[in-house]
């Protein structure tokens, strides 16, 4: 199982970050080395990536000042610069919509700048194959009406560089309301896939918009942490509307946020610099992969290569969605689907692709909303069992801490 970082008893947001940084410093450095090479392949050296990321500081402060305090504490605890932690948390906003530079000399210059700054290149200047653009996640949300247990479920595979499995941590933390949060995330990032004590669960499917990085807006991984303080799908919907319209911040890059709650609801929220839209369940189930499906956002779609397999994975997921009622065993079976070879829902690394560019299912996650529970497959799901993971202990009686004025 991935290492567990518990920050629930910290006295402040800064101290939460310190604990996180200290206990995962080696894994945070692993993340830095991974993304420094990825940015360099796009012609962006690490110093430039950090500079671009720091532009998002006032946006994050406006969303939740405690998150910036936590990032500062994380930098202090890990020995990294604040810019490095910001670059990790704004990685989606920094990466170009289609990844990689079409001018190799820009990548070489970025790698040279990284070397001059003392940052190791884990690929030793080897070229990075474009296959890395493939992949990234298939998700399913199941409402109470379609569930075997009478409660909602959320499940997904996280597909990315297998190298980043060594950076994953299980973070126990809390939101501004005081409720506890458990999130499986890359070390150095505020959140990714998780669930809170209210039974609100969320995941992530990366989308790519033509306008990614074109404006300052809420970074995707900051958004995930912010939404993990919600109590329901309806609450998340209100938060998205507030970020878009009331605060006028909007979103810095595209993503889909699948979610489910203890009230038995499920939905997917597509976000982009152009706005957000909702995918509602069909016959009690909602599925999503890595392209826009909401009509209002279709024009935002950046070009995708044929290897992405997003449309075929969505079709396969839709077949699984028809087999209601759905329970834990069904969701584990769904996440182990290998019916389309190396481009399946369960993605094994393709040996024909250079090792540094192989995309695979880094982990599989199944979450039950009431009572809150999480199971994780810590490798390609067909290779390992789904294991129950400990959730963050409740830090309060939620009814005593939730103030409608602070969580709407």
Q: Are the C-beta atoms of 137 and 206 separated by less than 8 Å?
A: yes
pLDDT computed for residue 405 by the predictor: 34
Tell whether the model's pLDDT for residue 357 goes beyond 90: no
Kindly report which listed range (130-134, 158-162, 177-181, 345-349) carries the lowest average pLDDT score: 130-134
368: Cβ contacts below 8 Å, ≥ 6 apart: 149, 151, 152, 153, 328, 374
Report residue 108's pLDDT band, with 50, 70 and 90 as the boundaries. Answer: confident
pLDDT computed for residue 398 by the predictor: 43
Q: Are the C-beta atoms of 293 and 286 separated by less than 8 Å?
A: no
Report residue 330's pLDDT band, with 50, 70 and 90 as the boundaries. Answer: very high
pLDDT computed for residue 96 by the predictor: 84
Largest CA distance in the chain: 58
Please provide residue 161's backbone torsions phi and psi, each rounded to the nearest 5 degrees.
Answer: -65, 125
Structure tokens at 319: 């077949």
pLDDT computed for residue 135 by the predictor: 58
Kindly report which listed range (31-45, 56-70, 111-125, 209-223) carries the lowest average pLDDT score: 111-125
Tell whether the model's pLDDT for residue 396 goes beyond 50: no
Report residue 124's pLDDT band, with 50, 70 and 90 as the boundaries. Answer: confident
Give the span between the Cα atoms of 184 and 125, in whole angstroms. Answer: 31
Q: Are the C-beta atoms of 387 and 1 separated by less than 8 Å?
A: yes
**357 vs 268: which has the higher pLDDT:** 268
Query: Measured between alpha carbons, how far is residue 147 from residues 313, 323, 326, 387 in Å?
Result: 22, 10, 5, 21
- Average pLDDT over every residue of 168-179: 96
Tell whether the model's pLDDT for residue 284 goes beyond 80: yes
- Average pLDDT over every residue of 360-369: 97
- Average pLDDT over every residue of 19-33: 97
Instruction: Report the percent of the chain where pLDDT is more than 90.
Output: 79
- Average pLDDT over every residue of 184-208: 97
Give the span between the Cα atoms of 158 and 139, in whole angstroms. Answer: 9
pLDDT computed for residue 103 by the predictor: 66
**Which one-letter DSSP state was computed for residue 64?**
-
Kindly report which listed range (115-119, 233-237, 340-344, 393-397) carries the lowest average pLDDT score: 393-397
- Half-sphere exposure of 91 toward its Cβ, with a 13 Å CA cutoff? 24
Tell whether the model's pLDDT for residue 95 goes beyond 80: yes
Please provide residue 299's backbone torsions phi and psi, each rounded to the nearest 5 degrees.
Answer: -70, -15
Q: Are the C-beta atoms of 157 and 336 separated by less than 8 Å?
A: no
Listed in order, strand segments (DSSP E) in 177-219 are 180-186, 193-196, 201-202, 205-206
Report residue 408's pLDDT band, with 50, 70 and 90 as the boundaries. Answer: very low
- Average pLDDT over every residue of 172-196: 97
Q: Per-residue b/e over 2-27, b at no fewer than 16 CB within 10 Å?
A: beebbbeebeebbbbbbbbbbbbbeb
pTM over 0.95: no
226-266 pLDDT, tens digit per residue, is 999 999 999 999 999 999 998 999 999 999 999 999 999 99
292-326 pLDDT, tens digit per residue, is 999 999 999 998 765 678 999 999 999 999 999 99
Structure tokens at 124: 């030793």
Mean pLDDT of the chain: 91
Tell whether the model's pLDDT for residue 352 goes beyond 50: yes
- Average pLDDT over every residue of 69-94: 97
* Nearest Cα to Cα of residue 88 among 256, 223, 219: 219
Tell whether the model's pLDDT for residue 404 goes beyond 70: no
Kindly report which listed range (194-203, 232-241, 393-402) carries the lowest average pLDDT score: 393-402
């Amino acid at each position: 199982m991935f290492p567990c970082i518990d920050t629930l008893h910290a006295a402040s947001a800064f101290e939460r970050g310190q604990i996180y940084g200290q206990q995962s410093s080696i894994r945070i450095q692993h993340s830095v080395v991974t993304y420094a090479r990825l940015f360099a392949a796009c012609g962006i050296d690490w110093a430039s990536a950090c500079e671009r990321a720091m532009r998002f500081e006032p946006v994050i402060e406006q969303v939740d000042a405690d998150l910036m305090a936590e990032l500062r504490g994380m930098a202090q605890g890990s020995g990294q610069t604040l810019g490095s932690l910001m670059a990790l948390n704004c990685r989606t906003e920094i990466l170009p919509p289609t990844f990689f530079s079409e001018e190799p000399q820009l990548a070489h210059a970025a790698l040279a700048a990284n070397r001059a700054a003392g940052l190791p290149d884990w690929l030793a200047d080897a070229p990075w194959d474009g296959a890395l653009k493939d992949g990234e996640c298939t998700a399913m949300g199941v409402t109470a009406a379609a569930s075997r247990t009478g409660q909602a479920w959320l499940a997904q595979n996280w597909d990315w560089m297998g190298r980043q499995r060594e950076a994953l941590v299980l973070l126990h933390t809390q939101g501004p309301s005081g409720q506890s949060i458990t999130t499986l995330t890359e070390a150095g990032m505020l959140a990714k896939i998780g669930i809170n004590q209210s039974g609100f669960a969320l995941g992530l499917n990366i989308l790519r918009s033509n306008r990614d990085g074109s404006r300052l807006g809420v970074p995707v991984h900051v958004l995930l942490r912010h939404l993990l303080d919600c109590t329901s799908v309806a609450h998340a919907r209100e938060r998205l509307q507030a970020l878009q319209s009331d605060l006028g911040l909007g979103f810095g890059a595209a993503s889909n946020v699948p979610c489910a709650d203890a009230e038995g609801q499920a939905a997917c929220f597509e976000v982009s610099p152009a706005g957000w839209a909702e995918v509602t369940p069909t016959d009690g189930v909602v599925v999503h992969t890595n392209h826009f499906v909401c009509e209002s956002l279709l024009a935002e779609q950046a070009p995708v290569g044929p290897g992405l397999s997003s449309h075929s994975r969505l079709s396969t997921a839709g077949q699984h969605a028809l087999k209601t009622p759905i329970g834990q065993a069904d969701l584990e079976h769904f996440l182990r689907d290998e019916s389309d070879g190396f481009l399946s829902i369960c993605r094994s690394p393709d040996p024909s692709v250079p090792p540094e560019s192989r995309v695979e299912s880094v982990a599989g996650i199944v979450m039950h909303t009431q009572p809150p529970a999480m199971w994780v497959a810590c490798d390609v799901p067909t290779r390992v069992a789904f294991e129950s993971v400990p959730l963050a202990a409740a830090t309060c009686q939620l009814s005593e801490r939730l103030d409608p004025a602070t969580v709407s």
